[in-house]
Structure 1
Amino acid sequence: MADSQEVYTDPDRFPAPLEEEEAVVTIPVDWTEAEEKAAKRKLDFTIMPLMTLGFFCLQLFVDRGNISNSLTDNFLKDVGITQNQFNVGQQMLSLGIVLFEIPSNMILYRVGPGKWLTLQLFLFGTVATFQAFQHSYGAFIATRLLLGITESGFIPGGLWTLSTWYTRQETAKRVMFFYFGNQFGQASSKLLAYGILHMRGVGGKSGWFWLFVLMGAFTVLSGVILGLFLPDSFKSPTSTFLPKRRVFSERELHILRSRVLRDDPMKGKKKKHIGRPAFKRAFTNWRLWIHFFISFANNGPQRGFDTYSPTMVNSFGFPPLTSNALASVGFYLQIPVSFAFSYVSDHFNRRGETVMAGFTCHLLGYVFNRIFTEVNKRGVRYFGVVWTQCFGTFSHPLNIAWMSLACRDSEERALAMTMAIMGGNIAGIYGAQIFRSEDRPRYRRAFSVGIAVLSVGLLLAAVRYVDDRIRRRRAAKSVETSSTVSNEEKGAVTPPHQQNDDDGSRYGDRNEKSGLA
């Protein structure tokens, strides 16, 4: 039998602050709705473009975009490495991220997001630029590991930054917009590479040399932009490079800060560290581990597929550089598709359903590709690549939004976000070895492995969905029982339409119609 907290938990809403949190601050609403909308609009046009730009650079220029595009320009031959050695380098990238994820976020928590995220753009932009000068296996391994170290913590740091400026309900929408930077970066990297790789021979250099130099320099420039305009926090609402220039007026800051504290008072109590009880709550919450493994299952096959999608298209018979442009189509299509999924997830509170639907479509992509390996029509095989790209990424941020609803307080939620991101990055370690040289060019084994892994992830998502349905029914039944007892204490007669409704379905139906289910 579930305890009382379990029974009253509503899986469709963020939990209310704990009693000790509610006592932290009591803030009256002394502003108008128009003032709040104006302040929030200004916040959106300040924070969101900058955070999305950072994620755009991370995906487009640094993480996986450039390196996968370079493969069609003789990168492996020029550097002197094999495909399997290349996979080891990709593992080093993921390893660097995983090892330094938590230390990076500890630094961000102490110095503030404005300073740390700006510095990170400078650091991984610099390392990305110097990738252009590698000409050995050792140099390749070193630059990939350094890249993982310097970019570690950027994504959970961005998520944490959004959570400090927005209420819990608003954060879910902004997380999806934040991930649009990732998706747009994936798509744009291949299209830009098509043009830049034609510079092979300029200055006696390869095309991939100019790819790393130009895009690395753009990342450093983006660091300057964040340093000029990204406000640090409510207590220090100025940018790193312009400490005397305030982005928001005192009135706007009061409104923005007060509304966040009314939603979650714990955001007004900055701790030097998260206490041991919070770690215990998070790491003993089996639901969070389910979400961890959902990300783990989704991101592994997707990482390997994204890396080799341009070379797959090339193997269908398309010209090498044209393959980069063609490999961008699925990612561009992913943007409106993921927006539609996120809208349904957030507007109708269909968290589990959208994650399972996205997972199913991702799984179908691997089924298509495995079947199409036996087909010699390049248009059919190209369709499999486009489909997989279209549905391959966005289940991860949808899962993160769903995961946050399984948390019982703000500290547990912060740890859960780190768990989800680490699950995705750990997946990159095994995902880098799915597509191996002895399996190319059709990658029959790789697609079979992807089908198996994604099937497990879909099963886990289904388990969590059933769990949420059970919790919803128990919560409705508990509310009904509490209401009946209250009426009996007052000497009231239970209305006939509320009698013999033990399964709680009437309350479930009402919740679904109101958008809560």
Structure 2
Amino acid sequence: MESSDNKANEKEIPTTPPVDSGPIVDEKSTATQQLEKRLLRKLDLRLLPMLCVLYLMSYLDRSNIGNAKLGGLLEDLNLTTSQFQWCLSIFYFGYIIFDLPSNIIMKRWKPSYWLGVLVFCWGAVAMAMAGTKNFAGLIVCRLFMGIMEAGFFPGVLYFLSIWYKRKEYGRRVSYFWSFSSLAGAFGGLIAYGIAKIPTHQLNTWQWLFIIEGAPSVLLAFLAAWYLPNSPETAKFLTDEEREFEVSRLSEDQGPANDHSWSWARAVSVFKDYKTYTFMFIYITGTSALQGVTLFLPSIIKGMGQWDKAQSQAMTVPPYVLAFIATNIAGWSSDRFFDRAFHMVAINVVGLVGFLLLMFIDEAQVGVRYFAACIVTMSVYANVPVKVAWFNNNFAGLTRRALASGAIVAVGTIGGAIGGQIYFDEPFYFGGNTIAFCCLAAQTITDIVLRFILSRENKRRDQLTPEQKEYEIFKYGGEELAGDRHPDFRYVL
């Protein structure tokens, strides 16, 4: 009877057809995405414009010596070709000396103040170069400029890494770095305009150093006041945004997230094979890059019967194309979360360009100019990808800051090499051959390193809990393991 009553009651319960309300939306997830989108927009607007403009000034002040050469620098100072090449190369010795100490200061002091100090000092030295009278004065100025600029690039690489997740980092570095190629375009236009200034009081190269150095001095004070120092203390973010920024960065790094300083962590960077592999990748790329940057006006001048002002103006298109290619490479590298294959593809374009410069007949001016354009695009576009690659693969702020400084410091030896390789004007067959070999060596190393990192990721996937505990113990515990933690995965 009880069962019959229950059945009767069940029949009396009215039923309605289900209403199709569409796909279920996770409101929390949507809110988080909107918060992250708003946060990234704030970060981009606050950090990138200032850093990009400062790097534009940095690259103008460092590379304008190539334009100054066409503005009469060699004749006025009675410089030989060898002396001029040493003035190019000595700049990078300053980099090698001061890169690592600068990043240590940056890690332990306020980044905004330190960046402001560096910008002011290199701007002052750039302007002082207008007063040099001989080889000794010029080479000393170039050395001090190298020392002052040394900390800026690796410092900004580290600085950006404390604000962005690994998958967001590549395109931000590409925005920042692309202004170096834009500096090349502006440098050519500015040099073309300055060449028209009467030389009754100052010579063309002196006006060049003064006009391009002054903005850096003025911007230094703005940078020190405007740039924030860390997500935890960023006043331009709301409390909710600050909390979210700290938590999402911690989640991105996982067990390798660590903000503390210790000398044991610092020393661990120099016991890591990745440090030396990335140094080699950086040296080979920088040798080709700086060789092209420093000698592009001379390379183009050797292609045809153009005057010096026209040669300056013709450097603009290669740099504009490099600016576009750099941003595309950074966006694509983040979009597909790939570094190595992007570098290989970019390098192949550069290798083709160098081969054209080496073997195309000198009478084919259009083809040779096209080759100069794609070479410039390649050597610039691969930089943000390789920078993102090594910053992504060193975890913990101490290891990342030290690795960034060390890799850029030693890798900048390539800049000193680049200042020497273009010795056989006007067609520079030898220089282009050396640059080709450097880019080829980098490409092979990229492929080998990617294979090693991929194999290591697969090995970590197969570790048992006991094996993971042993590896953590082997590297000194959770705090010291960093990217060597068995739960950390390398970016390929």
Q: TM-score normalised to the size of structure 1?
A: 0.78
Residue 462 (structure 1) aligns with: 447
Change (3 A) 1:470 1:236: closer
CA distance in 1, matches of 2:167, 2:441: 30
Shift of 1:293: 0.7
Matched, 1:343 2:328: no
CA shift for structure 1 position 473: 5.6
Give a deviation string over 1:396-453, Cα, whole Å, max 9, x none: 22112222344355443333322331243111122211112xx211222222222222
Matches within 5 A, 1:27-38: 32-38=32-38
Share of identical aligned residues, percent?
26
Aligned 8 A contact 1:400 1:420 in 2: no
Residue in structure 2 matched with residue 176 of structure 1 by the alignment: 174
The question of whether the paired residues in 2 share the 8 Å contact of 1:404 and 1:413 is answered with yes
**8 Å contact from structure 1 (residues 200, 208) kept in 2:** no
Q: 1:387 aligns with which of 374, 380, 390?
A: 374
What SS does the aligned partner of 1:205 have? coil
1:302 and 2:289 equivalent?
yes
2:57 is equivalent to residue 57 of structure 1: yes
Tell me the secondary structure at the aligned position of residue 199 of structure 1. Answer: coil
Deviation of 1:183 (Å): 2.2
Aligned mates of 1:474, 1:412 — CA distance in 2: 23
User: Structure 1: where are the runs of 5+ without partners?
Assistant: 1-27, 238-245, 483-515
Shift of 1:320: 0.7
| Aligned amino acid, residue 71 of structure 1 | K
The answer as to 2:246 corresponding to 1:276 is: no
RMSD (CA atoms): 2.7
Q: What's 2:44 paired with?
A: 44
2:375, 2:99 → 1: CA distance?
28
Aligned residue runs from structure 1 range 281-430, under 5 A:
282-316=269-303, 317-372=305-360, 374-407=361-394, 409-430=396-417
Q: 1:418 to 1:348 in 2, by over 3 A?
A: same
Structure 2: give runs of 5+ residues left out of the alignment. Answer: 1-27, 466-490
Distance 1:446 1:457, change over 3 A: same
Q: How does 1:52-451 map to 2 (within 5 A)?
A: 52-60=52-60, 62-64=61-63, 66-201=64-199, 203-237=200-234, 246-264=235-253, 270-271=259-260, 273-280=261-268, 282-316=269-303, 317-372=305-360, 374-407=361-394, 409-436=396-423, 439-451=424-436
1:198 partner SS: coil
Deviation at 1:230, TM superposition (A): 1.3
Tell me how far 1:164 sits from its aligned partner: 1.6
Contact 1:260 1:267 in 2 (8 A): no
TM-superposed deviation, 1:225:
2.6
Distance 1:76 1:418 in 2: 34
Shift of 1:142: 0.7
Give the 3 Å change call, closer, same or farther, for CA 200–369 of structure 1 in structure 2: farther
Task: Give, in angstroms, the shift of residue 267 of structure 1.
Answer: 9.8
Provide the rounded CA distance (Å) in 2 between the counterparts of 1:127 and 1:44: 30
Cα contact 1:193–1:211 (8 A) shared by 2: yes
Q: CA deviation at 1:50?
A: 1.1
Code of the aligned partner of 2:412: N
Contact residue 299 and residue 393 of structure 1 kept, 8 A: no
Paired residue for 2:437? 452
- Matching residue of 1:8: none
The structure number with the bigger radius of gyration is 2
Asked whether the equivalents of residues 100 and 409 of structure 2 are also in contact (C-alpha less than 8 Å), the reply is no
* Contact 2:300/2:315 (<8 A) preserved: yes
Q: Alpha-carbon deviation of 1:454?
A: 2.1
Contact residue 80 and residue 135 of structure 1 kept, 8 A: no
- 1:495 — aligned with what? none
- CA shift in 2, pair 1:466/1:275, >3 Å: same
CA distance in 2, matches of 1:112, 1:51: 16
1:489 aligns to what?
none
Q: Kindly state the Cα deviation for residue 141 of structure 1 after the two structures are TM-superposed.
A: 0.7
The one-letter code sitting in structure 2 at the alignment partner of 1:356 is: V
What secondary structure, in the 3-state scheme, does the structure 1 residue paired with 2:380 have?
Answer: coil
Quick check: 1:79–1:137 contact (8 Å CA) kept in 2? yes
